Amino acid sequence: MARDLLMASQTRDETRTGSHFALLAYVAYLLPLLGLISALSVLLLAGRIGERVARLSVGFSLAIFVVALGLFSQQVFLGQGQLATLGISLFTIHFDALTALMALAVSAISLVVHLYSVRYMREDPAHTRFFVLLDGINAMIMLMVLAGDLLTLLLAWHSMGVILYFLLNHDTRREAAKRYAFWTLITHRIGDLPLMAAAALLYSSYGTLSIPVLFEAIAADPERAGALGLPVSETVGLLILLAAFAKSAQFPFHTWLPYTMEGPTPVSALMHAGIVNAGGFLINRFAPVFALTDSVLQIALLVGLTTTLMGSVMMLMQSDIKRSLGYSTMGQMGYMVMECGLGAFSLAIFHLIAHGIFKATLFLDSGSLIGRARKDSNIPEGEIYQFMVERRTPRPPLSWIIFAGITIAVPLAIVVSAHQMIDEGFLSHQGAMILLLFGWITGAQTLFFVYKIGGDRPFRLLGYVVLSFALVILGYVLAGHTIDTLLYPDPAFREALYDAASLPAPLFTVLMLVLVATIAGAWLLVFRSAARREPLTRRYRNLYLSLYAWMSREFYVADLHGRLASALLARSRRLNALLRWV
């Protein structure tokens, strides 16, 4: 029986490659290949041309970017996925819209990081190694994005973690660099395991490693039970999620990410723009599997939401720029996973690209913070200045209740109507509601900012802000919708994803009511305390102190991990001594 299936899938594989033969997918081989060639030539030529290898490496990344751009534009016209093989079951390439988009984004960021490193990494003691590894990791990201079979995916998935380890450990003389790079390595290794298990399970159940073939097979026969009688799609979905969680720093596998700052700045930029978001890509890659599940995506929602909240709270508490950016990334990755958990898969891709550019810029510019602090040092203005130069007059009386009302109502209206305008069906999904909540909060925060700075004519300023907020939201919804139709052109499939992510209706209604009430209430509280100039932290001082102590220690997660590790080490040492193993 199993043999028959295997044979069947193999023949299907052959016909598929035969019929879908296309040049495009073969050109895509250039993406990882050019990276590897670049790494190799940097390595070989470094002795001869010295630091000019950096320019060589930039040249190759430019070529990769151009190829990626060309492939992307072709793909937009073609609109169909293609498969390229070398005749062996390894190193097949599956090229579709998702791949094209990711390859374009990654190659663009990598090009900027390369250009940046030419001067930034000048005269570094390990200059050559840096560029070799940088090119290497780019090749691996490309390979992961392009992978058409599970083995290639696994290989790329695994090598990314390993190369990252060496990049983070760039300063080999620092003890701390080794220690924290190891945190990364071990977490990524943990993340390899579920992916490996998923590959094994899929192969044992469907007898093929080719990703598109597998998806077809699963779609054709979703109810099949795998090894140990586990339902295949649910189990694979869960395993994929676990792998994504480790790579994308989801709670409780997040500790490695904020502590990756031992690497040079460009590595951080590339990592936060092109490596941590691999989880989001993986989940999207397996979207056909998730579409068939009904209780897995909820886990992504829960974990993502937890990570989001933890990440942003800890980001707010960091006193150093890089780790604060690290926690911010953690939160953003949580949001990305949460979007997947809501069924908004394509939005997660949009998020990871926008966030990648945003975060890479912040990292590359992180040194300018001192310059900014010198310009604006956070020190209150002196008495003389206030009455001689500033001559500020008290703002006109403003009712905080009216303002709070506007703050709460207007953004909600804008966000809802923007979505209604662009994509009518969107609001009927449960997931959309949660995303709307975030949009609403963001809008309210913007208006609260206006309330705080006041100014002479707050309502005029308010008008400007509301207008620009509306424009920005409209643009954003439009962009999201475009990506949605690009990646998942089939509306039925999009529906399937949303359905897979849905919660029982009564539960959801109650949840929404509670959330809306909490958020609106919280805003009223914030406005009231701002109006009365009585910070909430003073009112609930004891609670606040405890909360601070708890959060400032990063929820003790790293401590727990450390405890676990030292216990393990102590046990194994005792075992060693007991058994007299050298």
Partner 1 sequence: MKRLAAAEIGTRWTLYDLIDQLHGERIGATLNEWLIKGCLDFLDEGQSAWRMPGRRQGLFQSWCQIARRNRRWRLRGLDLGPTLERVEQPEAAIDLVMTRLAIPERLWMDYFAVELSKLHGWAGFVRWRAQARDYYWQERNPADLVDFIAIRLILSLPLIEEAERRHRRDFLYPDWVRCMSERPHECLLRRELHSGAILPDYAHRVEVALDGGDTKGIETLCLDYEREKTAREAASRALRLRELCELAGIPRAELATQRSGALRQMIEAVHGLRAREGFLWMQALERTYIRHLLDRLAAPRETPAEALARTGTAAPGIAGSKVQALFCIDVRSERLRRQLEGLGHYETFGVAGFFGVPVNFIELGKGHESARCPAIVTPRNVVLEMPHEHAPHGPSLFHLATEVVHDLKCTALAPYITVEAVGLLFGFDMVGKTLAPTLYHRWRKRLDNGRPPTRLMIDKLSEEDARDLIASLHDELVVRALDRQLGIKREAVTTGMIQELREIALGRAAAPSQLARRFDLDSATETVFITRLRLEYRLTPDQARLQLEQLARIGFRIERQALLVRNTLTTIGLAEDFARTILVVGHGSRSQNNPYESALDCGACGGDKGLVNARLFAAMANRREVRERLAGQGIRIPEDTWFIPALHDTTTDEIQLHDLDQLPPGRLTQLTRIQEDLAAAGRLCARERCAALGETGIDSPEAAARRVKRNALDWTQVRPEWGLSGNASFIIGHRDLTRAVDLAGRAFLHSYDHRRDASGASLEAILSGPLIVAQWINLEHYFSVVDNAVFGSGSKVYHNVVGRFGVMTGNVSDLRTGLPAQTLRQGERPYHQPMRLITVIEAPLPFVQGVLSRVFKVRELVENGWIRLLVIDRAEGAAHLFEQGTWMAQPWTPRPENGRSAAVEPARRARKRQVPVETPS
Q: State which of positions 34-73 bind partner 1 (CB under 8 A).
A: none
Provide, rounded to whole angstroms, the least separation between the CB of residue 490 and partner 1: 24
Which of 67, 55, 189, 33 has its CA nearest to residue 115? 55
Residue 293 and residue 251: Cα distance in Å, rounded? 22
Nearer to partner 1 by Cβ, of 204 and 445: the residue is: 445
Chosen residue from 26, 182, 203, 358 binding partner 1 by CB under 8 A: 358
Site for partner 1 in 515-574 (CB under 8 A): 537, 541, 544-546, 548-553, 556, 559-560, 563
For residues 366 to 405, the per-residue mask of contacts with partner 1, x marking binding by CB under 8 A and - elsewhere, is: xxxxxxxxxxxxxxxxxxxxxxxxxx-xx-x---------
Give φ, ψ of 216 to 5 degrees: -65, -45
Q: What is the largest CA-CA distance in the chain?
A: 91
DSSP annotation string for 144-198: HHHB-BHHHHHHHHHHHHHHHHHHHT-STT-HHHHHHHHHHHHHHHHHHHHHHHH
Q: How many residues are there in the chain?
A: 582
DSSP class of residue 388?
Answer: I
Site for partner 1 in 474-503 (CB under 8 A): 475-476, 479-480
* E strand or H helix that includes residue 222: none
Chosen residue from 188, 351, 429, 494 binding partner 1 by CB under 8 A: 351
3-state secondary structure (DSSP) of residue 210:
strand
DSSP class of residue 50?
Answer: G
Q: What spatial distance separates the first Cα and last Cα of the chain, rounded to whole Å? A: 49
- Total residues contacting partner 1 (rule CB under 8 A)? 121
Nearer to partner 1 by Cβ, of 84 and 483: the residue is: 483
For residue 106, what are the CA distances in angstroms to 10, 146, 348, 351?
A: 33, 12, 15, 14
Instruction: Write b or e for each residue in 395-411: b if 16 or more Cβ atoms lie within 10 A of its Cβ, otherwise e.
Output: eeeeebeebbebbbebb
Nearer to partner 1 by Cβ, of 476 and 508: the residue is: 476
Provide, rounded to whole angstroms, the least separation between the CB of residue 480 and partner 1: 7
Nearer to partner 1 by Cβ, of 378 and 399: the residue is: 378
DSSP class of residue 225?
Answer: B
Site for partner 1 in 417-456 (CB under 8 A): 438-439, 441-442, 445-446, 449, 456
Nearer to partner 1 by Cβ, of 261 and 497: the residue is: 261
Decide if residue 115 touches partner 1 (CB under 8 A). yes
* Residue 114 CA, distance from chain mean position: 21
Provide, rounded to whole angstroms, the least separation between the CB of residue 318 and partner 1: 6
Provide, rounded to whole angstroms, the least separation between the CB of residue 15 and partner 1: 41
Site for partner 1 in 254-273 (CB under 8 A): 258-259, 261-266
Which tokens in the block code for residue 437?
């909540």
3-state secondary structure (DSSP) of residue 374:
helix
Nearer to partner 1 by Cβ, of 204 and 552: the residue is: 552
Provide, rounded to whole angstroms, the least separation between the CB of residue 476 and partner 1: 4
Nearer to partner 1 by Cβ, of 37 and 313: the residue is: 313
| Burial class of 533 by CB neighbour count within 10 A (0 to 12, 13 to 18, 19+) | exposed
* Residue 360 CA, distance from chain mean position: 12
Decide if residue 162 touches partner 1 (CB under 8 A). no
Q: What type of residue sits at position 448?
A: F
Which tokens in the block code for residue 283?
């989940």
Provide, rounded to whole angstroms, the least separation between the CB of residue 172 and partner 1: 12
Site for partner 1 in 319-338 (CB under 8 A): 319-324, 328, 331-332, 335
Nearer to partner 1 by Cβ, of 190 and 437: the residue is: 437
Provide, rounded to whole angstroms, the least separation between the CB of residue 351 and partner 1: 5
Which residues, other chains included, contact 16 with Cβ-Cβ below 8 Å and sequence gap of 6+? 83, 212, 213
Residue with tokens 């007898």: 207
Provide, rounded to whole angstroms, the least separation between the CB of residue 5 and partner 1: 43
Which tokens in the block code for residue 3?
């043999």
Nearer to partner 1 by Cβ, of 316 and 513: the residue is: 316
Decide if residue 229 touches partner 1 (CB under 8 A). no
Nearer to partner 1 by Cβ, of 54 and 217: the residue is: 54
Nearer to partner 1 by Cβ, of 46 and 243: the residue is: 46
Site for partner 1 in 192-221 (CB under 8 A): none
DSSP class of residue 386?
Answer: I
Q: What type of residue sits at position 89?
A: S
Nearer to partner 1 by Cβ, of 115 and 531: the residue is: 115
Residue 386 and residue 358: Cα distance in Å, rounded? 36
Beta bridge partners of 95: 82
Decide if residue 578 touches partner 1 (CB under 8 A). no
Provide, rounded to whole angstroms, the least separation between the CB of residue 470 and partner 1: 11
Chosen residue from 294, 365, 423, 495 binding partner 1 by CB under 8 A: 365
Chosen residue from 21, 459, 464, 540 binding partner 1 by CB under 8 A: 464
Site for partner 1 in 87-106 (CB under 8 A): none
Provide, rounded to whole angstroms, the least separation between the CB of residue 11 and partner 1: 44
Provide, rounded to whole angstroms, the least separation between the CB of residue 116 and partner 1: 5
